[in-house]
Structure 1
Amino acid sequence: MADLPNLPDNPQDDIEAYVGLAQESAEEQARARGWTTVRSLPPGAIITMEFLSGRLNFEVKDGTVHRCWQG
């Protein structure tokens, strides 16, 4: 049997604190706090639904984070 991949853990972070921040500031802060992947998306974007540990997603409208979720 193959070994399980070494997946990153989600950082201990208050993800709701990103809501209201400017996109660039939120992305920089997330990376500094240990998120391995940061993805910014426009409202209503069509995305895959696979969960990726260590990824933080931002819904960005007019340069501001309106929603944030893990995976």
Structure 2
Amino acid sequence: MSPIPTPPAEPQDNPDAYVGLEAGRAERLARERGWTAVRSLPPGTVVTMEYRVGRLNFEVRDGRVARAWKG
């Protein structure tokens, strides 16, 4: 029987730390900290609910991160 694969590790980073930052700066910082995918979304965007390891999502309002979450 094959071993169960171990999912890749996520950066040890708090998404709340990005709230209030300018969107471009927040995206650069997230990539520097090891996030493999960074997604900036306008408020109210419909997104799928699948969890993707290594992805950080930003809700951007008026050029600034209003909310951030993993997956």
Give the TM-score normalised by the residue count of structure 2: 0.89
Q: Give how far 1:7 is off.
A: 4.1
Q: Which runs of structure 2 are paired with 1:35-54 in the superposition (5 Å)?
A: 35-54=35-54
8 A Cα contact 1:8 1:36, kept in partner: no
In the TM superposition, 1:5-44 aligns within 5 A as 7-44=7-44
Distance 2:14 2:7 in 1: 21
Once the two structures are TM-superposed, the CA of residue 2 in structure 1 deviates from its matched residue by 7.1
Q: How many angstroms apart in 2 are the aligned matches of 1:3 and 1:41?
A: 37
Aligned residues between the structures:
71
**Identical counterparts, % of pairs:** 59
1:18 is displaced (CA, Å) by 0.1
> Runs of 4+ in structure 1 displaced over 2 angstroms?
1-8
Cα RMSD over matched residues?
A: 1.6
- Shift of the 24–4 alpha-carbon distance from structure 1 to 2, 3 Å rule, reads farther
Contact 1:37–1:55 (Cα < 8 Å) also in 2 = yes
Paired residue type of 2:23: Q
Unaligned runs of 5+ in 1: none
Q: Does 1:66 align with 2:61?
A: no
Gaps of 5+ in 2: none
* TM-score computed with the length of structure 1 as normaliser: 0.89
